[in-house]
Amino acid sequence: MWPSSKTFDWYVDQRRSLSGSLRRFSALVVANPKVAAGVAIGGIAILAVVIGYLAWSSRQETKAADLLFQAVKQLTSSGGAAEDAAKREEAVGLLRELTARYPGTAAAAEATLRLGTLYYTIAEFDEARNIYQGYLTRNPRGRVAFAAGMGVGDTYVSQGKYDKAIESYSRLIDQFPQEPLLPEAFLNLARTYVKINKGQEAIRLYQRVAESYPGTSWDQNARAQLRKLVPR
């Protein structure tokens, strides 16, 4: 229902009351030097807290970035098989330390994806999924929440747990309707439907991608799959 005139009157009265309170407070500050000094000290204290937090946050980010650099360096350097395995273990330890000590940093978000991908590439799908789900539990709307959610779905697909994969991709689509990479979730969901012989559901999703993202690589991918599924 549209607000009545009484509602607007109440709103105006509230605004007037607030304005009057502010004027009285300003007059008090001007008339009383002690009050003015208290306000100034309070403002300085708040500013000091803000500056301190920003400095602390910057130090956290720097330390986290240093750990990430060390881990990536271990992963990208090559040697013999035994040496590479040792470096991979060291990198895993560094990435785990990073995500545990500095969970809210940008470096920790990247470390989560690197760690999950590392386990995924060596077919340790349960461990990869634990990494992704752990991040989502702590950061349901975090900076890499969508990518972590995709990782969860991908691990289920790789294990042949298609019903769980469908559930994961569908939930991701509902939770992140404005995500720039949303078509990836639609395509993965469609591919999963194909694997369980639900062609009509897959066709519907491929058509949606083609119509919603014309001229993109997603559009091309969807149309290529549609040509395989839709009889001529």
Phi first, then psi, for residue 133 (nearest 5°) are -70, -35
Q: Residue for token digits 């001529």?
A: 232
Distance CA 203, CA 225 (A): 8
Give pLDDT, residue 186.
97
pLDDT tens-digit readout, 88-133? 889 899 999 999 898 888 889 999 999 999 999 999 999 999 999 9
Task: Calculate helix-pair angle for 199-212, 217-229, nearest 10 degrees.
Answer: 150
Pick from 39-53, 114-128, 146-160, 173-187: least confident: 39-53
| Residue 14 clears pLDDT 90, i.e. is over it | no
Looking at residue 102, what DSSP letter applies?
A: -
Pick from 27-31, 81-85, 164-168: least confident: 27-31
CB 164 within 8 Å of CB 156: yes
Mean pLDDT of the chain: 81
**Higher pLDDT among residues 82 and 175, named by residue:** 175
Q: Buried b / exposed e across 9-47, counting CB within 10 Å, b at 16+?
A: eeeeeeeeeeeeeeeeeeeebeeeeeeeeeeeeeeeeee
Distance CA 30, CA 147 (A): 55
Pick from 89-98, 119-128, 186-195, 210-219: least confident: 89-98
pLDDT band at 31 (very low <50, low <70, confident <90, very high): low
Give pLDDT, residue 76.
80
